[in-house]
């Protein structure tokens, strides 16, 4: 009897992807319809290479609480996109055979928009093959918050909390000296400015917050930037700036690519420093004051000690919902988080969307989230973002450091 569940994780790591795994495991345990629960290591690549293991054997129930607080993908992940069915049918056949071998009835793939492409293609292949008894569900995750069909994505709230907290701390650091200085902080987001916008959350009675915020949804003009900086430095000695890694000029060319093409390193290689480092050079050329750049880098996606409780609890619920949908016979859908509007307070419920509405699409910041001058965010943006970073988890520390789960410790 085919009634087993297979889970895999895909795409970039987040702080919340394991919380969704925990949600799936919790719900699967109480659902009689589900037999064994398998994990594939390294996403769809792990299915293709039959790197599959019994998850219940590997993960005792008492480890779930720690798994919830462990960053990155505990099962391992991949960045692997299936080719079209026409060009790679053997690959699809291989997956189907593995599913048959392990008697998989339910497959839940936790990932972002590229991973939803996998859900969609696999669903399509099964449909072509008239296989109606395997149910494939996508569980969203990405720190980029760029998925359509869901109010926000698991993983984003925690990354946003890290960004806002770090900006709050940097604000204090910047205020230390009485000399004119500019601090440029590069925030992740190659295509969208969601995380960069979250830097504004630190503005409060004790914190001025970033003086200028540049999201990649608006064309970045270097002359305007120089003027913005000049104006700010005149009224405030320490200027703190948030910049999306993916800012582009009016031709749609990445600012970081302009740098890459202008400079080569001593070996003739292109340098892959980010846009903040590039802009640091430009400011240094134009102004006498001190300029430094900070790249928040991968810390944004793995700082689980600063996870948003809201994000983690929702991520668990997304995992639970994915199991419920699979058992009810849904397939080729992604779990969605829906914000209940008009309540006067923040509350969500969980639904689903057709994967074709999500896969390979990118949801950018709405234009009314960015202020008219393109250097800050609106109250509407703050209202949207604020609830997502609320709450802190109790972290288990041992000898001064958070405790994690490492399923493949060797």
Q: Are 140 and 109 in contact (CB under 8 A)?
A: no
CA dihedral (249, 252, 257, 261) in degrees, to 10, reads: -90
* Residue 308 near residue 321 (C-beta atoms within 8 A): no
- Spatial neighbors of 69 by CB under 8 A, at least 6 apart, are 304, 307, 312, 393, 395, 396, 402, 403, 404
**Interface residues for a second copy in 279-298 (CB under 8 A)?**
281-282, 284-285, 292, 294-298
Q: Does the annotation count 146 as an active-site position? A: no
Of residues 45 and 224, the one with the C-beta less far from a second copy: 45
Specify the residue, 60 or 130, whose C-beta has the smaller distance to a second copy.
60
DSSP state for residue 343 in the 8-state scheme = S
Output 143 or 325, the one with its CB closest to a second copy. 143
Task: Please state, in angstroms and rounded to a whole number, the distance separating the CA atoms of residues 215 and 200.
Answer: 12
Tally of CB atoms within 10 A around 179: 9
User: According to CB under 8 A, which residues from 58 to 87 bind a second copy?
Assistant: 70-73, 76-79
Subset of 233-262 contacting a second copy (CB under 8 A): 259, 262
Based on the shown chain and the rule CB under 8 A, indicate whether residue 269 belongs to the binding site for a second copy: yes
What the block records as the tokens of 346 is 């923040």
Kindly identify the residues of this chain, within the stretch 301-330, that bind a second copy according to CB under 8 A. Answer: 301-306, 308, 310
Q: Per the structure block, which two tokens stand in for 163?
A: 């960004």
To a second copy, the closest distance from the beta carbon of 19 in angstroms equals 14
Taking alpha carbons only, the member of 138, 152, 145, 158 closest to residue 9 is 138
Number of residues that bind a second copy (CB under 8 A): 78
For residue 318, what are its two tokens?
């997304």
Q: How many CA atoms lie within 13 A of 85 on its CB side?
A: 16
Which of 351, 387, 388, 383 shows the shortest CA–CA distance to 366?
383
**Between 2 and 401, CB nearer to a second copy:** 401
Output 121 or 161, the one with its CB closest to a second copy. 161
Choose the catalytic residue: 61, 117, 144, 371: 144
DSSP assignments along 280-325, one per residue:
HHHHHHH-SSEEEEEE-TTHHHH-GGG-BHHHHHHHHHHHHHHHHH
- In the complex, least distance from residue 318 CB atom to a second copy, rounded to whole angstroms: 20
CB of 360 to a second copy, least distance (A): 21
* Binding to a second copy in span 94-153, by CB under 8 A: none
Does 386 bind a second copy (CB under 8 A)? Our answer is yes
Of 205, 250, 341, 342, the one binding a second copy by CB under 8 A: 205
Whether 273 and 255 have beta carbons less than 8 Å apart is answered as no
Report the nearest approach of a second copy to the CB of residue 165 (Å): 6
- Rank residues 128 and 401 by Cβ distance to a second copy and give the closer one: 401
Q: How far is the CB of 64 from a second copy (least distance, A)?
A: 15
Position 207 contacts a second copy (CB under 8 A) = yes
* Minimum distance, C-beta of residue 341 to a second copy, in the bound complex (Å): 20
Q: Which stretch binds a second copy (CB under 8 A): 32-40, 113-121, 225-233, 300-308?
A: 300-308
Compare residues 302 and 365 and give the one whose CB is closer to a second copy: 302
42 interacts with a second copy by CB under 8 A: yes
Q: Structure tokens of 320? A: 């639970």
The answer to the question of residue 173 lying near a second copy (CB under 8 A) is: yes
Q: Is 222 in the site for a second copy (CB under 8 A)?
A: no
Q: How far is CA 396 from the centre of its chain?
A: 24
Residues with catalytic roles? 144
């Amino acid at each position: 009897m085919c009634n087993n569940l297979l889970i895999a994780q895909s795409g970039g790591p987040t702080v919340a992807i394991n919380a969704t795994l925990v949600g799936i495991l919790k719900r699967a345990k109480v659902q009689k319809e589900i037999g064994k629960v398998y994990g594939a290591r390294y996403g769809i690549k792990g299915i293709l290479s039959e790197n599959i293991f019994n998850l219940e054997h590997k993960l005792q129930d008492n480890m779930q609480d720690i798994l919830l607080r462990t960053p990155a993908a505990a099962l391992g992940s991949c960045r692997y996109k299936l080719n079209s069915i026409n060009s790679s049918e053997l690959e699809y056949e291989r997956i189907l055979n593995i599913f048959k071998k392990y008697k998989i009835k339910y497959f839940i793939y936790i990932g972002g928009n590229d991973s939803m492409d996998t859900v969609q293609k696999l669903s399509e292949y099964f449909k072509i093959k008239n296989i109606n008894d395997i149910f494939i569900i996508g569980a969203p995750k990405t720190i980029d918050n760029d998925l359509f069909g869901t109010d926000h994505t698991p993983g984003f709230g925690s990354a946003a909390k890290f960004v806002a907290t770090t900006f709050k701390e940097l604000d204090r650091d910047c205020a230390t000296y009485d000399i004119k200085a500019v601090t440029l902080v590069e925030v992740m987001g190659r295509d969208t400015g969601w995380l960069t916008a979250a830097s504004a959350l630190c503005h409060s009675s004790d914190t001025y917050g970033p003086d200028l915020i540049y999201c990649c949804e608006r064309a970045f003009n270097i002359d305007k930037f120089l003027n913005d900086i000049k104006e700010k430095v005149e009224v405030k000695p320490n200027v703190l700036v948030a910049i999306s890694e993916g800012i582009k000029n009016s031709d749609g060319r990445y600012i970081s690519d302009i740098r890459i093409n202008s400079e080569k390193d001593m070996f003739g290689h292109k340098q892959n420093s980010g846009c903040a480092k590039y802009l640091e050079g430009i400011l240094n050329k134009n102004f006498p004051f001190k300029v430094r750049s900070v790249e928040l880098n991968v810390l944004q996606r793995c700082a689980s000690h600063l996870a948003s409780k809201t994000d983690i609890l929702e991520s668990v619920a997304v995992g639970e919902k994915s199991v419920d949908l699979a058992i009810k016979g849904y397939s080729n859908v992604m779990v969605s988080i829906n914000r209940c509007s008009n309540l006067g307070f923040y509350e969500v419920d969980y639904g689903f969307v057709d994967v074709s509405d999500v896969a390979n699409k990118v949801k950018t910041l709405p234009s009314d989230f960015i202020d008219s001058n393109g250097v800050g965010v609106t109250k509407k943006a703050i209202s949207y973002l604020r609830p997502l970073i609320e709450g802190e988890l109790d972290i288990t520390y041992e000898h001064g450091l958070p405790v994690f789960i490492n399923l493949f410790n060797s």
